[in-house]
Chain A
């Protein structure tokens, strides 16, 4: 029953995926777009294998992918068979519009491959490396009779082995390192109180999996906690002992699509491609019944009925998501007064209007309204998840806006929350204090918009905001948020260079580098860290390796104030020129003219060496006149 999660039940079903694949395969010119239409829906493992063959065939015969969709290089080093997982990983990638090239190390040879700087896996230059160790490989055969103290030491020694492998891997490549937790395949020998046998292999595996969390955090490694998923679904959904003996497949082929889906969440989260906003329908989604027909007393919400309690539980889950940084929006076909009524007056309503960053209720079609929501919140359409109990509305939105995630919501409201959680739309790799304040920040933006409407001139409006820009070089306190912004900012990002925590630390340790974290405060509150600049020394110049900002603060002269700051810092470092770079992606077209607007001149002579329409720019420090802004600039920041 629960193994439906292995069948990715939140994905839309294709009426006949096998036939659709055959049609594409037999067409004279099969295209990636046509294939995308099929792999966006659920495919079983056989269909996934076929879709992958087709994908590889199309890629082999087509020109290199367009700007911004650079293939991602994914390597697995595993002590069990992993080849059968690769097609699913590549297809799960294309489901997310990401081309993936894969590489598997020699079966069980991970140490040799990592120790040798010229091994195939190192030469492959992976962007992502996944490490998989099976239980017997780590535990061995001699643990059973260990005493408590010996078992403790044994667990420590195994963790130390794993740490050594991680450090070796990190010395060999710069990308994202993912460790899969150990699949709990050992059987119980004692029973419920397995802990009374300190050397029980099953118990040792559980202890190692538990301890990996802290170890991974300390070492900057991301965990793929397959053991937690197995605890929810049951091991039979994921692992087939007979197949383990027959082919050393630790993950059953049937579970390969689910395995890949879970894995890709981590990979996409690292690249800022997780969803950011939950768009909610109201009637029969947040409460039972129709507010316009049933009225405040008639809708089912809260204690007293099982259905009413199910909706409250869903609201509670949604509110928790919002508290950890997911933006909430409402998109409802209703009169706006009716739609707001339960939020304002229903005593059991958990979600309040202040939890909703963008509230749209009218009789327009939902696709139009969802576009409006994305525009108002200034986030990409592909970072929205749309939740609606009505299959008709879901299908319209899917057809009009295929980039939006629209889960197949179960009919039972008690399962709404589980469906959204199982689908993993909001996978995150860090949670920072800024996340906790996110919804408040978007609400304050709405306040700012109102203030703006009351001012006839932009200058007067900006002055009335009483903005203060606080800056500081990168530091340990801000590190997590800095890494998060570097990895998830897509739109206002000049170069879209992604860095791991270790790489950012290396930049901090470079004395001639300029690092700026920038915070913006105004009369409505603290916007959190909204800007990151990294400048790297290059002869008499400073090359602006990274310049990114949160889209929340656009149109408030923050770019100009930041430029003033960058020039001032560069001057104090004895630098004579600034060099700016723009590397286009699918998403950062808005900053194409960023450096020109800031008075940089294009450097044409190097254009030949640049790929994909990238541009470089130069600004001399001695000819710089600071921009006039309504922002006061202050050094030092209090971290919220």
Chain B
């Protein structure tokens, strides 16, 4: 799966988490500039991404994430390891 495909799926999950069906998501999107993306929503986002991609994201990794682009990178890396 390439980064663009992951971004598409992560964006869909984020829209579902925030209940904002028309939200535009780019790699530079951050929690600060989206309404409703609070710590509660963030937990739901991580759990949903873990379930969807069948991966586990560690506590330390979550704390380092700065924007959607970094989240996509993290998922891509985990998927690579999963296959290997």
Interface residues of A (CB under 8 A from B): 18, 22, 25, 44-47, 49-50, 53, 83-84, 240, 242-243, 245-247, 249, 252-254
Alpha-carbon gap, A50 to B36, bound state (A)? 13
| B16 A242 Cβ-Cβ under 8 A | no
Chain B residues lying within 8 Å of A240, measured Cβ to Cβ, are 47
Alpha-carbon gap, A491 to B17, bound state (A)? 42
| A242 B13 Cβ-Cβ under 8 A | no
Highest count of chain A CB atoms <10 Å: which of B13, B17, B40, B58: B40
Alpha-carbon gap, A245 to B43, bound state (A)? 12
**Which residue of chain B is the closest to A47 with respect to CB atoms?**
B16
- Known pairs A25-B21, A46-B48. 14 more at Cβ < 8 A? A22-B21, A47-B16, A49-B17, A50-B16, A50-B19, A84-B40, A243-B47, A245-B59, A246-B43, A246-B62, A249-B43, A253-B43, A254-B47, A254-B51
Chain B residues lying within 8 Å of A18, measured Cβ to Cβ, are 16
| A243 B16 Cβ-Cβ under 8 A | no
Please report which residues of chain B, range 9-54, place their CB below 8 angstroms from some CB of chain A when the two chains form the complex: 13, 16-17, 19, 21, 39-40, 43-44, 47-48, 51
Chain A residues lying within 8 Å of B47, measured Cβ to Cβ, are 45, 240, 243, 252-254
| B16 A46 Cβ-Cβ under 8 A | yes
Which of A22, A46, A242 contacts B44 (CB under 8 A)? A46
| A247 B48 Cβ-Cβ under 8 A | no
Alpha-carbon gap, A49 to B48, bound state (A)? 12
| B40 A83 Cβ-Cβ under 8 A | yes
**Which residue of chain B is the closest to A25 with respect to CB atoms?**
B21
Chain B residues lying within 8 Å of A246, measured Cβ to Cβ, are 43, 59, 62
Chain A residues lying within 8 Å of B43, measured Cβ to Cβ, are 84, 243, 246-247, 249, 253
Chain B residues lying within 8 Å of A243, measured Cβ to Cβ, are 43, 47
Chain A residues lying within 8 Å of B58, measured Cβ to Cβ, are 242
| A49 B19 Cβ-Cβ under 8 A | yes
Give the Cβ gap from A321 to chain B, nearest Cβ, in Å: 34
**Which residue of chain B is the closest to A52 with respect to CB atoms?**
B19
Q: How many residues belonging to B are interface residues under a CB distance threshold of 8 Å?
A: 15
Alpha-carbon gap, A47 to B13, bound state (A)? 10
Alpha-carbon gap, A246 to B60, bound state (A)? 11
Chain A residues lying within 8 Å of B40, measured Cβ to Cβ, are 83-84, 247
| A45 B59 Cβ-Cβ under 8 A | no
Highest count of chain A CB atoms <10 Å: which of B13, B43, B44, B58: B43
| A253 B44 Cβ-Cβ under 8 A | yes
Give the Cβ gap from A53 to chain B, nearest Cβ, in Å: 6
Contact sample, A vs B, 30 pairs, CB 8 Å cutoff: A22-B21, A25-B21, A44-B51, A45-B44, A45-B47, A45-B48, A46-B13, A46-B17, A46-B44, A46-B48, A47-B16, A49-B17, A50-B19, A53-B19, A83-B40, A84-B43, A84-B44, A240-B47, A242-B59, A243-B43, A243-B47, A245-B59, A246-B43, A246-B59, A246-B62, A247-B39, A249-B43, A253-B43, A253-B44, A253-B47
Alpha-carbon gap, A242 to B21, bound state (A)? 29
**Which residue of chain A is the closest to B56 with respect to CB atoms?**
A242
Give the Cβ gap from A7 to chain B, nearest Cβ, in Å: 10
Chain B residues lying within 8 Å of A249, measured Cβ to Cβ, are 43
Sorted nearest first, the 10 A-B pairs with minimum C-beta distance are: A46-B16, A50-B19, A22-B21, A253-B47, A242-B59, A254-B47, A247-B43, A253-B44, A46-B48, A53-B19
Give the Cβ gap from A462 to chain B, nearest Cβ, in Å: 61
Alpha-carbon gap, A252 to B56, bound state (A)? 14
Alpha-carbon gap, A246 to B39, bound state (A)? 10
Give the Cβ gap from B22 to chain A, nearest Cβ, in Å: 10
| A49 B44 Cβ-Cβ under 8 A | yes
Alpha-carbon gap, A53 to B16, bound state (A)? 12
Highest count of chain A CB atoms <10 Å: which of B19, B40, B48: B19
Chain B residues lying within 8 Å of A253, measured Cβ to Cβ, are 43-44, 47
Chain B residues lying within 8 Å of A245, measured Cβ to Cβ, are 59
Chain A residues lying within 8 Å of B59, measured Cβ to Cβ, are 242, 245-246
Give the Cβ gap from B11 to chain A, nearest Cβ, in Å: 13
Alpha-carbon gap, A563 to B73, bound state (A)? 77
**Which residue of chain B is the closest to A240 with respect to CB atoms?**
B47
Chain B residues lying within 8 Å of A84, measured Cβ to Cβ, are 40, 43-44
Alpha-carbon gap, A50 to B13, bound state (A)? 12
Give the Cβ gap from A387 to chain B, nearest Cβ, in Å: 30
Alpha-carbon gap, A240 to B43, bound state (A)? 11
Chain B residues lying within 8 Å of A252, measured Cβ to Cβ, are 47
Alpha-carbon gap, A35 to B19, bound state (A)? 16
Give the Cβ gap from A57 to chain B, nearest Cβ, in Å: 11
Alpha-carbon gap, A44 to B40, bound state (A)? 17
Alpha-carbon gap, A83 to B16, bound state (A)? 19
**Which residue of chain B is the closest to A19 with respect to CB atoms?**
B21
Alpha-carbon gap, A53 to B44, bound state (A)? 15
Chain A residues lying within 8 Å of B62, measured Cβ to Cβ, are 246
Give the Cβ gap from B82 to chain A, nearest Cβ, in Å: 18
